[in-house]
Structure 1
């Protein structure tokens, strides 16, 4: 008999496949070790917890908000709720911005009339400031469950029916606060049967999942569906793979994985990062992989092809790497994927720039209709609104009948909000009519973006619209902004300057809110921006005009005015070095060299930390200079300044030593209070380049760089010497407060001491930000020997993985220093060494600098206090995040006159400011600056 409820699914899995396994790799697992439980063991744990949940005596069908970051915690909590007759609602990571978090939690509380939360200590910490919640800890529940160890393997509190509510999923909330999609046992099982048939799941299948369990794809597509068919599963915290992409291949090899999932932006990251890992060529057996699902955003065909090519290169039997890449379409409302394409890119060429989405899973239907009436079918090959229906579609939005009613049309068709084309039975997306833009798989609300863009001076109120748009060859979705300017583009003499300022402000807001500037900003006369009878601008009409060239005249007029404005400040490069640099800048930023001014700033043009390394290398080759220290590019980012520095190199004696200045200005525009950031334990500041970009035109951004990188500069001999040097430099740069200072890792204690020094001199320090560092570091400093310091640096620079560092330390610590460096040097990817322009001698010197900072910290004992502290915490190098926060970081409470704020940020210790996480970190960091009145 086929299971008819989720309870039946779990019972069937134990009865038919008792020894099959659910395996997990947590964010804190040492060396990414795998922890496994048989279906029998997992079922016992879930039923013990369920029996303990029953002691709460909640009415059948009561809602429990389940809030964890690890797969196993979420999974066992969801099953325990279902067995106990409760309805779990999966809560994704809460916003670190206090106002948004409080608003969201209040919304959920009001929606459910009351809110019961099941979480861990870290989750409870985030919720402690919000009143009216009933919070239960998993640790307490596990303790209570010990009393029910003899629970029957089929115990349930009450039998469920197929149409009972089973699991609630929060929608993205991108257009306001989240809606809650209600899925019953019937809708979830309908989806699972159909998905299993589509994927070809069997009891011999092995699934690898690294999508969060709070997402329908992670919970239903990659767990319940495989469980229904008896497939073993491996669930990995995303941070494990993002911090070391080689783990993805290791796990496929080790577990003989045949089905996995990765959205387009992660396929791109995997391909990009793995392509550089020449040390991994021929290392893995990937022949088991037969299907790679992808969803969340359109899959770029070229990206998917590159991914397949890279996997072939890294496999030791490339001829056996042959798998289906399956781009899928689905939503929370459809239990994730409901339409899938299938193509073997090892043998087939895709037809279009994006992979086709193909056909619906069994039981699901799709159609494309006129978006204006939502009913009239489009002809084959014509674009229209995509609608779906079938037994896997959700039944309603919880306590929101209006949203439910507006989401369906006659016949039970669900309006997806996406535009599609169906041709010969195969579907592909052609755009979206929803109020969201998806950047690297994350949905951002267009109405919220428009609200902030409306505040820009130069924009006519209520005459601005933003529309999602993806240009040819673009890796992720972008957007276009249309607006009616308050000034006359034809007759206003100041139009060029006003347009430049308006567009600059629009770009700044967009970058801060959704991490990307608009692909195009189009000023349109108010008379041509028609509104509906409800007073709304039609985004779809404006976008259609833009794509079809109907707004080309306005685009050209804006380009002409912006070019005219630029010419008023344009300075023609006048020396050979300036002209050469202008050419190099143009090459990096895809500009015409004639467009590069002598006063252009490398970072204001968009330069990243990787671009800095590229510019250094190309300058040395093009201009015949043996060595341009990165620090000089950082301190001379303007074409003319860098040219003058390079010219000086030709006339300077080899023995000349430049005076040491610890402060590196990474961004100088903006009128708000400057931020000063202290380097981590490696002493360098390149890690801050990408972060500084987000503060352009808002506030200057300075970074402290350790002494000793340049020839003739001695290392710091003590913490006091370093603090004195930095405090004096800070006062020279900004003579008067209020001050804002932060420090990353090791730099946090330095920032704290600098803030203390400034306060002792009578200055006001309104913000002290400490990023993932406890106050007591001396024990840790004593633990780090030369080998450990060298391996930490190598990992930080991307020369080895975290697993390599942990494995090598006991093997190398007894060897000679030169031999240790040689081992790491041989393991490092040649491309990465070339990017950094490292030599063994430079690496050795860098290790010495890091070692000097360790020596400064060995005798450090924190004392005194400052007015206030903001402590940002991520996944630590060792141990759990909860222990890191509660046993280490909260010790900062002794050193702040006001209670410190503890702010959770995404990523791990070494990755929280990398490309993947810096966009989210800057939002959280900015919110704390603003909360402190800066």
Structure 2
């Protein structure tokens, strides 16, 4: 087949511009916008009453703050006038570091109108060294250090010298006295002026700053608007952060260009409550939204069994859902679309396309799309195609070796794109800019693609990154840490991105040469230890274990003439079966190592539980040992509930308490407990607050105190990240088991917990932490241990102030944060509204719920009179979005007083999520990294 030169949009450039002009003329528009200034002026003039809506990170309901286009235009021009008083030269770069959509949006427009160039800064690393290195790099890159941020942002960077920090709150205050016209600008922009800078992820090193001009952004937005079918009547829902090109350009400036109303929602509001996504589509008649593959999968998992919600939403307005960040699994898209059909009030009116797209920061986000009705048209591949270019964009596939030789239709190669929406350069980085382009203005995306009949799909990536749930992680950094594992031959290890058939997100494979002889003495145990260590590091760094680890003898591991391993070659060999003998040998050795410690289940109870374990973890029944630990096999909090239900069904028991599963995770131990229940000879166990969630590893153990409801299941997902590193113990409140009295005072609780910690770990140093209410208990336990002469190196306080007496009406309730006083008054209402299947799953009865509430009430009573006093050697405070108020107020006015109870310098570390979601599946991977960094900083 002859090579196909390039592929462009089915619409020509002239068609796009002509169509847009006709649309604008029909609507009696002024001249076609030449700059972003024109876009804002035109939107305010022609659609003054259209709205920008915002749901903030601190909103606990769907309350929306709105500004009309006219009011927003006036607001940002006043900000710009106040900003111009900074008297910086036109074209000065301003680093914008804010979290809320409205603040970011206003700051960017104010910079543009004041004649400055905004650079949007994503969330900074929680690790001080990384953060300082990045900020220093940015300062050097721009030869300036002007930052516009919030009080919380300023707190993060105030330890870094030489920054010119301006607070948005102060800028707003100054703007109140600035009276400006609806057309005021400090500087008339030109089409090719620098407009907005975006930072790359920096997954393979320090971030590069991508320069987009007014021309590149407008070209992209014209093409996107045509592709989406945007009109002035469209309504758009966005929850992508504004620091991302998709959030700012694709979901804000493009809709603004066409006059479309917009609703911008903080990501935490959607991730913590996926139903909100559907409620907003229903209530606001949303036409266009964005949902990456992992959210499609999450929504489907959460909603497909919610038969009580079938027909509950009006979803007739939604016409298109864009998806990007990672490949979209065809089955996931189909399941999602089918689920939305069932949830729709009138399924016949639920008709929309899911539109996977390809785009990069360098291309103003999506520039290639393939909108498809996945229920009406059967996709041909495991992943949805990415489609055809938008107007004025071209794409081609070339030989990655020379970057210019065209590949025939249907053959894979490097994807290259060109068009007026492609960035002009990397700021102050001519070398990287030059490398990124080849003759003819083609941009090298670094992705491997295939084009068939003008439709593109990706088949891999040349770049050194792996994308997990839409987040990019650097392969070189991962490899650097993996190289340190005992058993790995130095410089003979490579990790390569790989997505197995049917997998929801991308994964990776590790190839390495063992430093020991695979046919030598004790090879099986050495191999098992090496693979265990490689998995542990992978989980800690990128939240995911490798799909496979392939040991290859060093004399069979080929390197290039430059002495490097070729990931591409190794991955090709793997896919073609060329490494099958090495994989088989590894499986043989690891099976041998496990066999040496394998204890065959012998009793009926052990055999039954081994079978249940095997089903949960997709293992063969003969693969589960009587000595296997549920959590070391990978059990999560959700898996615990499944184990509980299946054990109760199999053994015909009314209840197997969750706490007993947590205390007896080993097959044989749980079998003994179940046998005792069945024989009705189980003696009441003496109360022990310690619940061991993870017992492997030799580093200092962690003790985590329960939140305000007294339970510890919330820590299961966190504990697994410490496997083979350090034991993880949770402390559970007294009163859950029959006959156990509840605590009556803080002193009684602290005395009990301190004794239990000493009994479990007789000598220090200690690491004590507590979540919410548990934070003040952890502080008191640490004080008690220090009074005994012990060393406490870490006292971790998670989102709780020292003075809690007046906050006892805001205690956690079952993983969401319900106001408990309200809950107590409205218990009957809550009970009626609760999903029936969830009540069955948790086996909640009104009696059990009443008892749980009684335990929470007892803890409240213990805290009502609590007055903090004394001090510990140091405190580490972790803060998330509070129950009410702003994050900066929460930090500065509520949490900073912990300094008065710390003899050493306290640390205050921002963590993702809201108060009640920071330990959930979406946020615990990042929380564990941050928490581990503080442990290391404290010498643990």
2:279 to 220, 240, 250: 250
1:839 to 834, 839, 845: 845
Match of 1:590 in 2: 618
The question of 1:625 aligning with 2:631 is answered: no
The question of 1:678 aligning with 2:694 is answered: no
> Which secondary structure state, in structure 1, belongs to the residue aligned with residue 176 of structure 2?
helix
TM-score (ref. length: structure 2): 0.95
The question of 1:865 aligning with 2:871 is answered: yes
Moved over 4 A (4+): none
The question of 1:765 aligning with 2:792 is answered: yes
In 2, the alpha carbon distance for the partners of 1:196 and 1:755 equals 58
1:407 to 412, 436, 453: 436
| Aligned ranges 1:21-40 → 2 under 5 Å | 21-29=51-59, 31-40=61-70
Instruction: Give 1:275 deviation, angstroms.
Output: 2.7
Instruction: Give 1:650 deviation, angstroms.
Output: 3.1
Match of 1:302 in 2: 331
Q: Deviations over 1:580-630 (max 9, x none)?
A: 111111000000010111111111000001111111111111123332111
Contact 1:279–1:828 (CA under 8 A) maintained in structure 2: no
Match of 2:89 in 1: 59
Q: Say how many residue pairs are matched.
A: 910
Match of 1:746 in 2: 773
Contact 2:815–2:917 (CA under 8 A) maintained in structure 1: no
The question of 1:889 aligning with 2:903 is answered: no
Q: Deviations over 1:103-141 (max 9, x none)?
A: 111111111112100001000000111111110001111
In 1, the alpha carbon distance for the partners of 2:524 and 2:375 equals 51
Match of 1:817 in 2: none
The question of 1:714 aligning with 2:741 is answered: yes
Contact 1:279–1:827 (CA under 8 A) maintained in structure 2: no
In 2, the alpha carbon distance for the partners of 1:184 and 1:322 equals 37
Instruction: Give 1:569 deviation, angstroms.
Output: 0.8
Alpha-carbon distance change, 95 to 348 in structure 1, aligned in 2, over 3 angstroms:
same
Q: Deviations over 1:542-587 (max 9, x none)?
A: 0011011111111111111111111111111111111111111100
Alpha-carbon distance change, 520 to 30 in structure 1, aligned in 2, over 3 angstroms:
closer
| Aligned ranges 1:471-620 → 2 under 5 Å | 471-489=500-518, 491-620=519-648
Match of 1:319 in 2: 348
Instruction: Give 1:847 deviation, angstroms.
Output: 1.1
Alpha-carbon distance change, 809 to 225 in structure 1, aligned in 2, over 3 angstroms:
farther
For structure 1, list consecutive stretches of 5 or more residues without a partner in the other structure.
815-819
The question of 1:334 aligning with 2:363 is answered: yes
Q: Deviations over 1:392-451 (max 9, x none)?
A: 111111111111111111111111111111001111111111100000000000000000
Could you tell which deviates more after superposition, 389-398 or 237-246? 237-246
In 2, the alpha carbon distance for the partners of 1:466 and 1:596 equals 29
> Which secondary structure state, in structure 1, belongs to the residue aligned with residue 248 of structure 2?
helix
Match of 1:384 in 2: 413
Instruction: Give 1:239 deviation, angstroms.
Output: 1.0
1:95 to 111, 118, 125: 125
In 1, the alpha carbon distance for the partners of 2:411 and 2:546 equals 28
Contact 2:96–2:120 (CA under 8 A) maintained in structure 1: yes
In 2, the alpha carbon distance for the partners of 1:528 and 1:200 equals 55
Could you tell which deviates more after superposition, 307-316 or 700-709? 307-316
Instruction: Give 1:885 deviation, angstroms.
Output: 0.9
In 2, the alpha carbon distance for the partners of 1:930 and 1:517 equals 22
Instruction: Give 1:259 deviation, angstroms.
Output: 0.5
1:74 to 90, 99, 104: 104
> Which secondary structure state, in structure 2, belongs to the residue aligned with residue 511 of structure 1?
helix
Match of 2:215 in 1: 186
The question of 1:9 aligning with 2:39 is answered: yes
Instruction: Give 1:838 deviation, angstroms.
Output: 1.9
Contact 1:617–1:837 (CA under 8 A) maintained in structure 2: no
The question of 1:172 aligning with 2:201 is answered: yes
> Which secondary structure state, in structure 2, belongs to the residue aligned with residue 749 of structure 1?
helix
Instruction: Give 1:823 deviation, angstroms.
Output: 2.8
1:395 to 415, 424, 431: 424
Instruction: Give 1:207 deviation, angstroms.
Output: 0.6
Instruction: Give 1:223 deviation, angstroms.
Output: 0.4
Instruction: Give 1:494 deviation, angstroms.
Output: 1.5
For structure 2, list consecutive stretches of 5 or more residues without a partner in the other structure.
1-30
Match of 1:449 in 2: 478
In 2, the alpha carbon distance for the partners of 1:262 and 1:118 equals 29
Match of 1:905 in 2: 911
| Aligned ranges 1:266-281 → 2 under 5 Å | 266-281=295-310
Instruction: Give 1:371 deviation, angstroms.
Output: 1.6
In 2, the alpha carbon distance for the partners of 1:281 and 1:879 equals 35
Contact 1:276–1:832 (CA under 8 A) maintained in structure 2: no
Contact 1:326–1:343 (CA under 8 A) maintained in structure 2: yes
> Which secondary structure state, in structure 2, belongs to the residue aligned with residue 147 of structure 1?
coil
> Which secondary structure state, in structure 2, belongs to the residue aligned with residue 32 of structure 1?
coil
In 1, the alpha carbon distance for the partners of 2:677 and 2:150 equals 58
In 2, the alpha carbon distance for the partners of 1:835 and 1:440 equals 27
The question of 1:731 aligning with 2:728 is answered: no
> Which secondary structure state, in structure 1, belongs to the residue aligned with residue 700 of structure 2?
coil
Instruction: Give 1:30 deviation, angstroms.
Output: 5.0
Match of 1:639 in 2: 667
Match of 2:677 in 1: 649
Instruction: Give 1:531 deviation, angstroms.
Output: 2.0
> Which secondary structure state, in structure 2, belongs to the residue aligned with residue 260 of structure 1?
strand
Match of 1:696 in 2: 723
Match of 1:877 in 2: 883
In 2, the alpha carbon distance for the partners of 1:155 and 1:627 equals 70
In 1, the alpha carbon distance for the partners of 2:546 and 2:651 equals 35
Instruction: Give 1:826 deviation, angstroms.
Output: 2.4
Contact 1:821–1:844 (CA under 8 A) maintained in structure 2: no
Alpha-carbon distance change, 27 to 295 in structure 1, aligned in 2, over 3 angstroms:
same
Q: Deviations over 1:435-480 (max 9, x none)?
A: 0000000000000000000111111111110000000010000000
Match of 2:22 in 1: none
In 2, the alpha carbon distance for the partners of 1:703 and 1:718 equals 20
Q: Deviations over 1:869-902 (max 9, x none)?
A: 0000001111111111111111111111123111
The question of 1:290 aligning with 2:319 is answered: yes
In 1, the alpha carbon distance for the partners of 2:824 and 2:142 equals 58
Instruction: Give 1:797 deviation, angstroms.
Output: 4.5
Instruction: Give 1:824 deviation, angstroms.
Output: 2.1
Contact 1:276–1:829 (CA under 8 A) maintained in structure 2: no
TM-score (ref. length: structure 1): 0.96
In 2, the alpha carbon distance for the partners of 1:492 and 1:415 equals 47
Contact 1:335–1:393 (CA under 8 A) maintained in structure 2: yes
In 1, the alpha carbon distance for the partners of 2:713 and 2:783 equals 26
Instruction: Give 1:813 deviation, angstroms.
Output: 6.4
> Which secondary structure state, in structure 2, belongs to the residue aligned with residue 110 of structure 1?
helix
Q: Deviations over 1:895-934 (max 9, x none)?
A: 1112311100000111000000000000000000000000
In 1, the alpha carbon distance for the partners of 2:840 and 2:517 equals 51
1:44 to 66, 74, 77: 74
Instruction: Give 1:81 deviation, angstroms.
Output: 0.3
Alpha-carbon distance change, 813 to 690 in structure 1, aligned in 2, over 3 angstroms:
closer
Contact 1:239–1:908 (CA under 8 A) maintained in structure 2: yes
Instruction: Give 1:652 deviation, angstroms.
Output: 4.0
Contact 1:26–1:32 (CA under 8 A) maintained in structure 2: no
